[in-house]
Amino acid sequence: METKRQGEDVKQYNKPKASKQKIFQINNKGYIEKRKKQEQQEAISNQKNFLVS
């Protein structure tokens, strides 16, 4: 009886951890995409400035 209860505790303890990691991965993915877009825009504006000068 004691061991079964501990197993349930472990299940509940591991569940939120996994979902937190998933949420972090999703947020991280969005952040990386934003950074890529920002870097592309900076590269374009740098090229324009180079052409102007």
For the whole prediction, is pTM greater than 0.85?
no
> How far is 27 from 30, CA to CA, in rounded Å?
5
> Which sign, positive or negative, has the C-alpha torsion 15, 18, 24, 29?
negative
Domain-by-domain residue ranges, the chain? 15-42
pLDDT at 38: 95
DSSP 48: H
Residues 6+ apart with CB under 8 A from 35: none
pLDDT in tens, the chain (53 residues): 455 556 666 666 556 565 777 777 777 888 889 999 999 999 999 888 887 76
